[in-house]
Homo-oligomer: A and B are copies of this chain.
Amino acid sequence: MNLNSLTKTNGEWLRALGPDADIVISSRIRLARNLSSFPFTNRVNAHQKAEIETYLKGRLEAVDFEPRLSYLNLAALSTLDRLLLVERQLISRELANSEGPRGVAFAPNEIISVMVNEEDHIRLQVIRSGFSLDEAWQEADRLDDKLEEKVPYAFSEELGYLTACPTNVGTGLRASVMLHLPALVLIKQIEKVFRALQKINLAVRGLYGEGSRASGDFYQISNQVTLGKSETTIINEIRDVIPNIVNYERQARQALTRESRPLVLDRVQRAFGTLKSAAMMTSEETMDLLSSVRLGVNLGLLDDINITEVNELFIHTQPAHLQKLIGRELDSDERNSERARFLRNRLREIDPQVN
């Protein structure tokens, strides 16, 4: 499989076609599973680790599931290719940076991916555009059932699925939703939202997982508790809270349009102008400026560019995507210069009319 092709298509979650896609970027279900016949990944020796990989590669390629999954041996890939998969959200940064036999199986539409030899032997993920937790869960559950027919999972009648880290024991389920909340950030209400979420045991992170700053006003909200509740209860708890945040963001956007239209318009247009003209641009600044542009498109302040195009710019300006698109490896300074050139070229023909 030629990874370069990834830069020529968009994963389903980037297409902004799902429900509430103006605010909800994506919904994600992740299941942690382990083989009953091997120690956890952090306890295996090199030989066992290779055995696990070979075993799971075979099962994943053979599983009776549509769409078919293609398996990639991550150890054989370049650092750049692994980073590309991280940016696509097909693998975790931890798996990319770890050592030894490991891999990922994923479907061409990038909705489904299964990591092998991450913290757990199996990390199954379904990610969908917009607010689609139920659809994502059904898809994950279906693949999990099919895999379970072929693969003996480590399971305890008392505890449920056994995982390398106790925080995942039980369902092994993490449900998360990626939100774009620029208006709540602008009106300085985002901290209030965080505090409310923490009170009900939901975690908030940036776009690229734990510890990442919320660049571009992207916030990922997920459950923390996996044990003592059914999958449906966990998903319901997070699913029920999302519409409140979505409405809160929507109200903030309306308030901005009503009360501070010139200020917002100025911010949006300047962001677009800077993206079109800068000679150097970090990934961080790009995300922050694109966040303003995305807000502008959603508020109807800009036309001639749509949300799918903006989403694509978010991912194409990430370091690995950028280097793939340029066609060579670049150091940090070169990336900032090439990123700016890339943005100027992409946006050159776009002259959004002020509405």
Contacts and interface: CB of A to CB of B under 8 A. Distances in A.
Contacts of A268: 279
A269 interface: yes
B340 A266 contact: yes
A284 to B, nearest CB: 15
A7 interface: no
A270 B281 CA distance: 11
Contacts of A279: 262, 265-266, 268-270, 354
A54 interface: no
Q: How many copies does the complex hold?
A: 2
B280 A274 contact: no
Interface string A256-272: 00000011011011101
A108 interface: no
A276 interface: yes
A278 interface: yes
Interface string A270-305: 101110111110000000000000000000000000
A279 B278 CA distance: 18
A308 interface: no
Chain A contact surface mostly: helix
Interface of A: 262-263, 265-266, 268-270, 272-274, 276-280, 333, 337, 340, 354
Nearest to A261: B279
Contacts of A340: 266
26 contacts: A262-B279, A262-B280, A262-B333, A262-B337, A263-B280, A265-B279, A266-B278, A266-B279, A266-B280, A266-B340, A268-B279, A269-B277, A269-B278, A269-B279, A270-B274, A270-B277, A270-B278, A270-B279, A273-B273, A273-B274, A273-B276, A273-B277, A273-B278, A274-B277, A276-B277, A279-B354
A333 B260 CA distance: 13
A274 B278 CA distance: 10
Contacts of A333: 262
Nearest to A280: B266
Contacts of A270: 274, 277-279
Contacts of A276: 273, 277
Given A268-B279, A269-B278, 4 more contacts: A262-B279, A266-B280, A272-B277, A273-B273
A352 to B, nearest CB: 9
A340 to B, nearest CB: 7
Contacts of A269: 277-279
Contacts of A273: 273-274, 276-278
Contacts of A263: 280
Contacts of A354: 279
Contacts of A337: 262
Question: Which of A272, A273, A276 has the most B CB atoms < 10 Å from its CB?
Answer: A273
A99 B56 CA distance: 92
A305 to B, nearest CB: 13
Nearest to A271: B277
Contacts of A266: 278-280, 340
Contacts of A265: 279
A335 to B, nearest CB: 13
A280 B269 CA distance: 10
